Structure formats: structure tokens, C-alpha cells
Structure 1
């Protein structure tokens, strides 16, 4: 299976491998903070800092969410932080296998810090989201969005991608497709130029599209398109596969292939470098990419365009009862 990695991601991955090969007798808790060059890793570090947890308080594992949950099940990872749809099948599978999953709350003070320093906002996971929850869980959320490369996605294709996302959502069997509605269509568009084809579709449906419109600059016509998703254990990869299948069913002159990646940041970098045509990303790093801030302080990306909202991304932090960890503050020394 094809996987695209930036040079920075390769370096980080090597660091992750080395960190996992340390002294097994270490008393530090093992915390899965997300793959290299991912938004999960970025927000994980923000969340831990907001709870007073320093980098030397824990051993960081840079795993995709599926591998991270395998580690939680095996007892090799104590806490896993993930950005996932609600409910997450991976978490349900972990509970079915382990039987003692605990989902951790964020504190009010930490949420205030996170809201002041990012685009994430307070979110309450209802206790009926998972059978193992006895109470609601307080966390934060963002939006997953689809973005396109303005060097390869022309206006007509952008129109069709947006149209099929919504008009054929009932053919998408993934649970998160329920959020692909016109009511939600522009969630996460703030601060990101909208693809002109998508704008035309949404306005035909009676929506008001505010903000800048992306400029299309197609260099070469193409029929093969790459959609960057995330790790196989997360939500992006299977949901992206469903989306690509629908596009392939209805767009005769184009072929879409979804690939496993490190998710948001890697997808944005790959679009910048014209190695990817479409990408799934949390809206916050996409906004940073356009503005040249955060992870993209070295330079803004000018060929990224918003095509549509996909689903709400909810931070979900899990451990097991046997770890004795009841809050993130337990990780701080």
C-alpha cells in the first residue's frame, strides 16, 4: 500500500522507533500522541501541556491510532490520544477485547487554555456514545474537511466532488457520512479559500459562501487522482475509501485512489508539493497552512482549497482501568 512521508516525518518516525526501544523498566507512562507530522501529535502536545504534563513526564509513542490501541490492549501503551469520529469503532473494538476501557476528561482550566491557543472548542461526549461510559466526557473538537489542490482540481471537478459528497452520502456506508449534509457543508471553511467549483454548487443549493475564493492554476490535465487520508486504524482511511468509491462510480473520466498517510499535516504538505490532489484534514492546520502559522511558519501554502465539511473531529483519550490513570494530571510528576 502506498504511503507518502515528508522528510520531517521520516526523521520523527525514527525518533519514535528509538523512543520505543528504551529501558522497559522506566516508570514513565507510555503515551501515544499520534503519527509523525500529524495534527493528532500537535494537539496532543497542547493538551498535555495544558494539564501541566511536561515532555520528560512520559515516553512518547508516535503511532497511528490503530497501532496505539493495539498497544493499549497489550499493555505496552498506557494512554492513547486520538482525533476520531463519534463513536469510534476502534474504541468499541478495544473495549470488546479488553473490557476495562476508561475515557479521560479534560479539565475546565485545560479547555480554557486550549480554546485560547487553538481553534479547538469544548465538546461533551454523551455517555450513551459508548456502552462502557457511566458519565458524559468533557473534551474538545474540531472539524474534518476535504481540501483540494488548485493545481490539479479544476472548477468542474471541484463542483462534482462537492455535489457527490452530499447527494450520494446515502451510498456511503461509513457512520461518519451522516454528517455530510448541506446544513454542515461549510463547517470548517472559515479562513480557508473555497474552491470555486464547490462554491458554485453550494450557492446553487441556497447557501451563502463567505470569505475568499481560491484561484485555479491547472498546469497539466490528468485523470488519476490521489486522496490522502490517515492511518488504517482511524476514521479517515475507511471513510476516504468510501468517498473514493462513490467518485469512481459516478465520474467516468477520472479515477481516485485513497492512500494511508500521517493525516492532516502530511496531506497538506503533499498537496503543497503537488504529490497529492485531495486531502482529508482537520480545519485548524488547514487554516494554519493558508496563513503560514503554526506548523507552517516557514511558509504558507497557496494551492489549498476547501471543498467540503466531512464530520466533527472529537478528541478521545483512552486508557485502561488497570493503569490506575484517572486523569491526564496523573501523568505530571
Structure 2
């Protein structure tokens, strides 16, 4: 009897081993972005589109810079980031690791993401990075600038929008080239627009029918805080240059960029009166003003000031992991 029990236990253990092998062994370590960030939200949506639930993987809530270090060290298997194209952090990772692989999303996954968010299909061309051997299918949204309607006057909103467009050549970051009049209203969609920005764009001949936000500015502050993102991503360095350009071209203000966990934190900080300007993906901004998604109630004191650059979901691993797609994790 005892021998039969041992044999039975061995059989159960063997079955467990076979299941683990079939599932790719241990749960993978996936960097999904900081808590309270748009990266975190869309990462969970991407994983959900493959039927990968919390508990099926080890979640690392890291900014992309720290996550890239983890990928290089082998401590993180997959890192998901919302970044400009090309992203210096990915190029730097390839220079250090030498075997970076970028994952594509399946058609079914993209359909699920489009149905449940503001992200839309996007193709990363193979010439975007020297390590790509083929185009990569992913999704994109827009990085936009939102302003606090309790602290940004009509005059200042006008100047902020104007300088973003007319002085963007002073920005050395690659994404500065995206701040053009042709792109200025990308991401506006269902958002209220700041009256100062609206005035500038109307003067430039741009058409839109969005509601004009109401202002409640009693005393225009001279010291302004711009919420950006993690230091390893695109928002923080780009936001620093944007602040410098504003400071150099708008009299009477001083904009300081602040490192944050990005979109959700920036929108909440403006709601709470702790921030004047915030960089965000347009999807969470729409959720914020409608009081949906990650926001239980509408945020009524934020308004669109301008488009910054297209946000591309970029998912990286290393050849050493053996991961070819998210299907490998869903088996």
C-alpha cells in the first residue's frame, strides 16, 4: 500500500512538471509600468487580450528605464513601454544587451484593445531600429498636454500653445519634431479645449467643434509645475526641454518639470490642485473628463492645450528568453 502511494505521488509530481513545461516553466517577470500610469493600464489590457491574468505572471511596476535595466540583467523577461519612436532607451538596451527582440501583437489582441480603449493599430517599420528584421504590429495613442483650468489663464494658455508650435525647433529631443501645426489637434477627440489654446488654433485656421473649457483663475501663478513621467521614459527629458523653451519665450513664468508615474498621476494632481500642466496619453485624459475607467468621477478642471507626439506601445524582450510572442505565455 505504501509503495502504491509513493508511485501515485510520483505520478502527480510528474504531471505537475509536465504542466509547468507546457506553460513555459516558471511565471514570467513582466514590467507593466508604474502603478497609476497609462502604461500600467494598457499593459494589463494587452495581457488580458491574450487571456493572461494577474497571478499568471510576476508584475514589476517599474518605469521603462529601470525595467530596461532589468531586461538587460535578465531579471525581467518582458518590458512594456509607451514611448516615442525611436526610443533612445530601447536603442541603449540593444547596445548593452545585443539581442533585443520586439514583440508584435496579434490581430485578435489588437481588436480587443481597440474595442476597450482609445488605442489604435500601428506598424513600427523595421528600419526604426537596427535590430529589427521585420515590421512590428502594435498600437498607438497620442501624448498630449493638459492644463489646469484653475491656474492657467486664457492668455497663458494661448502662449503655451503658441510656443509649443512656433518654437519647437528649439527642442533637441527627437519627439520635438512632432509638435507641428499639422499635428496640433491630434488626440483632442472628446476633450474640452483650453480657451487660450482654442484662440491660437483658430487664428491658425484649424477647425474643431470641441467644447471650450471654463476657467476659474483668480490669480495667475508665476511658478508652474509640469507633470511628466519616469526619468527613463520619454516624458521626463522631453518635458524638461519643453519647460526650458516656455521659460525662454514667455515672460513672467517659470515652469518646473516634475518626475511622476505619468498620465494618471498627472491628471489626479491637476484635479487636486497640486499641478498646473500635465503630460498624458489622450485615452486616460478622455476617461478623466468623463469619469470612467480609472476615474470614479469626472475631473472638471482640466483642458487640452496641445498634441506632443504619437505614443507607441513597444514591447521588448531578449532572444535569450526564448519568448517569441505573448502566445508563449498563454499556453
What residue ranges of structure 1 are gaps of 5+ in the alignment?
1-25
Query: C-alpha deviations, 1:47-79, integer Å up to 9, x for none?
Result: 001012121210000000100000000000000
| Partner SS, residue 140 of structure 1 | strand
- Report the equivalent of 1:180: 179
For the 8 Å contact 1:202–1:209, the answer to whether it is kept is no
Match of 1:45 in 2: 44
- Secondary structure in 2 matching 1:293: coil
* Residue correspondences, number: 307
Is the Cα contact below 8 Å between 1:52 and 1:329 reproduced in 2?
no
Q: Aligned equivalents of 2:234 and 2:221: distance in 1?
A: 28
Where 1:139 maps in the other structure, the secondary structure is strand
Q: Would you say 1:153 and 2:152 are equivalent positions?
A: yes
1:307 aligns with 2:266: no
Q: Deviations over 1:196-240 (max 9, x none)?
A: 000000011110122101001013331000000000000000000
Q: How much has 1:106 moved relative to structure 2? A: 0.1
3-state SS of the aligned residue for 2:76?
Answer: coil
Q: Secondary structure at the match of 2:218?
A: coil
1:259 matched to which residue of 2? 258
Query: Partner of 1:54 in structure 2?
Result: 53
Q: Please give the alpha-carbon distance, in whole angstroms, between the structure 2 residues aligned to 1:120 and 1:91.
A: 21
Write out per-residue CA displacement over residues 246-281 of structure 1, whole angstroms, 9 at most, x where no aligned residue: 011112210000010000000000000000000000
Which string of whole-angstrom CA distances, capped at 9 and with x for unpartnered residues, describes residues 17-60 of structure 1? xxxxxxxxx92110000001000000000000101212121000
2:293 aligns with 294
Cα distance in 1, alignment partners of residues 100 and 304 from structure 2: 36
Task: Output the CA distance in 2 between the equivalents of 1:217 and 1:322.
Answer: 55
Equivalent residue, structure 1, for 2:210: 211
Q: Quick check: 1:53–1:329 contact (8 Å CA) kept in 2?
A: no
- Find out whether 1:319 has 2:317 as its counterpart: yes
Q: Distance in 2 between matches of 1:47 and 1:244?
A: 33
Q: Distance in 2 between matches of 1:276 and 1:270?
A: 5
1:139-163 alpha-carbon deviations (Å, 9 max, x no partner): 0000000000000000000000000
Aligned to 1:285: 284
Please state whether the residue corresponding to 2:269 is helix, strand or coil: helix
For 2:244 and 2:51, the matched residues in 1 are separated by 44
Structure-1 separation of matches of 2:187 and 2:250: 26
Structure 1 residues 83-98: aligned runs within 5 Å: 83-98=82-97
Instruction: Name the CA distance, whole Å, in 1 between partners of 2:324 and 2:47.
Output: 14
Q: CA RMSD in A?
A: 0.8
Distance 1:220 1:202 in 2: 25
- Kept in 2, the 8 Å contact 1:54–1:332? The answer is no
Structural mapping, 1:1-333, within 5 Å: 27-296=26-295, 298-333=296-331
Query: TM-score by structure 2 length?
Result: 0.92
Per the alignment, residue 3 of structure 1 pairs with: none
Cα separation, 1, equivalents of 2:123 and 2:251: 42
Matched-pair contact (CA < 8 Å) for 2:152–2:220: no
Question: Secondary structure of 1:295's match?
Answer: coil
Q: Is the 8 A contact 1:48 1:54 kept in 2?
A: yes
Within 1, Cα distance between the matches of 2:326 and 2:302?
35
Between the aligned partners of 2:330 and 2:29, the Cα distance in structure 1 is 12
Gaps of 5+ in 2: 1-24
Corresponding residue SS for 1:124: strand
User: Greater CA radius of gyration, 1 or 2?
Assistant: 2
